[in-house]
Chain A
Amino acid sequence: MCLAIPAQVTELHEDTMATVSLGGVVKRVSVALLDDVVVGDYVLLHVGYALHKVSEEEAQRTLAMMAEGGLLQDELDEIAASEGAAMAGGAGA
């Protein structure tokens, strides 16, 4: 549960919220913990909050490792399974 997963910011909204895409899933998340996030940035996402900016290269190697280890799917399943997610803007694309 301490895992953070890289995601790309595709849209910025008011109230320090953003839309990110990760592994084909679109999710509304908070970027309130970071300054100067712009569309296209990669961020480490943890329980719905962007914790850190990462380079595209780092994001992609991490995603690849997580996919290989089966962790990516676990994490996506967890997002999809949570009972509040639908209201939070949707785990589904």
Chain B
Amino acid sequence: MKYVDEFRDRQLAEKLAAAIRAEADPKRIYNFMEFCGGHTHAIFRYGVQDLVPDNVNFVHGPGCPVCILPIRRLDDAIELAERPEVILCSYGDMLRVPASKRRSLMKAKADGADVRMVYSTLDALDIARANPDKQVVFLGIGFETTTPPTALAIEQARAEGIENFSVFCNHVLTPAAIRHILDAPEIDPEQAVRLDGFLGPSHVSTVIGSRPYEFLSDKYAKPVVIAGFEPLDVMQSVLMLIRQVNEGRVDVENQYTRVVTRMGNEKAQDLVAKIFEVRDTFEWRGLGSVPDSALSIREEYAQFDAEKRFEISEKVSREVKSCECPSILRGVKKPKDCKLFGKACTPESPMGSCMVSSEGACAAYWTYRRAETLAEMALEAAE
């Protein structure tokens, strides 16, 4: 790869780190939430936390679609997969996530359910075309980046008359979740985490643009910088946030102008609006019920809605009791605060969703900060 060498721009990283050190006021504490799991991963992978002073903290947000899918919806997906006539198609990340009683789609598959890992909704449509005597259900998960592809698949199924295709829709909305996190202290002071600014997601913003974040500066007086997902982008964005805080400014700034515009991909937005509508409320693992935070399939497309096509039983779902994913996803706790971390819970045998996805905070700590975290845990246990 001829570009790798060119990219390894340690010099620029050092320059940015020096600027951050020079400009971060030692008398202040800066808590910045990176909403997106892709940023969480980049911050750990490149040790960005070590390049910034101690008073600049990253609070890891709930922007990992696998991590926030509530366990009941996953139980429902497993129930769908277990129906003899159903082929359930899912993105790979979802297969290992533990549901109630530590079942997962993978285990259901091992027990005989027809669960297929797909890379794309295009694949799910192919499977539906090839299996006209089966019901093909696509488990739709993800933020605004992943929703347009699901919308297009529904459009395509309708255009082609693929009647045995439906979507179990769990698509969620980024701005609503951020709003909820900021409102949380008012609802429950225990959940308060002071945030001084947000790193806005990269690829979500290519679709929705930077405009949907403007309420954060207008109504909540929080600075936002939409950040590319490369480590240098993250560092530059941190510097931009520090400057806003120091100057007392609250703006939505865009570091990732190479790709993100204010309006985003309007064609994709129109398509999503045509097929989906906003649910009044949706349960997020970790956040609880979040108003206006998810999408369901519009009545005109009801025939492609798995929730309407199949009867899904009411059930009581159970989280692993001591799993701290809920507090970790709010940014209130860290993986070290979970007794199970690295003991009962590892990526090979995950107890909670934050350990499954490489975008989850527990998986990131396990992969990149295991020794320190375990040492900290031992120290705290000894106290």
Contacts and interface: CB of A to CB of B under 8 A. Distances in A.
Interface of A: 1-4, 28-30, 32-35, 44, 46-49, 51-52, 54-55, 58, 60-65, 67-69, 74, 78-79, 81-85, 87-88, 91
Contact of A46 (B93, B203, B258): B203
B120 interface: yes
A48 B127 contact: no
Contacts of A32: 152
A65 B233 CA distance: 11
A84 B119 contact: yes
Contacts of B38: 2-3
B354 to A, nearest CB: 14
A84 B206 CA distance: 27
A48 B145 contact: no
A83 B118 contact: yes
Contacts of A3: 38, 203, 229
B268 A47 contact: no
A77 B177 CA distance: 31
Interface string B121-146: 11110110010000000000011011
Interface residues of B, number: 55
B interface secondary structure, majority: helix
A51 B201 CA distance: 15
Contacts of A46: 145-146, 149, 203
Given A3-B38, A85-B119, A85-B123, A54 B152 contact: no
A78 B91 CA distance: 9
- Which 5 A/B pairs are nearest by Cβ-Cβ distance? A84-B123, A48-B120, A82-B119, A64-B3, A64-B7
Given A2-B38, A48-B119, A68-B8, 13 more contacts: A29-B122, A30-B152, A33-B148, A46-B203, A48-B121, A51-B145, A51-B148, A64-B4, A64-B7, A68-B4, A69-B45, A84-B89, A85-B123
B337 to A, nearest CB: 26
A67 B201 contact: no
Nearest to B39: A2
Interface of B: 1, 3-4, 6-8, 36-38, 42, 45-46, 63, 65-66, 89, 91-93, 116-124, 126-127, 130, 142-143, 145-146, 148-149, 152, 201, 203-204, 206-207, 229-231, 258-259, 265, 267-268, 271, 357-359
Contact of B201 (A2, A49, A61, A83): A2
A26 to B, nearest CB: 14
A49 B38 CA distance: 19
B382 to A, nearest CB: 36
A1 B268 contact: no
B203 A2 contact: yes
B201 A87 contact: no
B2 to A, nearest CB: 8
A32 to B, nearest CB: 6
20 contacts: A2-B37, A2-B63, A2-B145, A2-B146, A29-B120, A33-B271, A44-B206, A47-B149, A51-B203, A52-B206, A61-B230, A64-B7, A65-B231, A78-B119, A82-B118, A82-B119, A83-B118, A84-B119, A84-B122, A84-B124
Contact of A82 (B92, B230, B358): B92
Contact of B123 (A52, A55, A88): A88
Contacts of B36: 2
Nearest to B116: A83
Nearest to B149: A49
B7 A54 contact: no
A4 B46 CA distance: 19
A1 B359 CA distance: 8
Contacts of B118: 82-85
B258 A1 contact: no
B110 to A, nearest CB: 15
Contacts of A64: 1, 3-4, 6-7
Contacts of B89: 84
B310 to A, nearest CB: 21
A82 B268 contact: no
Nearest to B146: A47
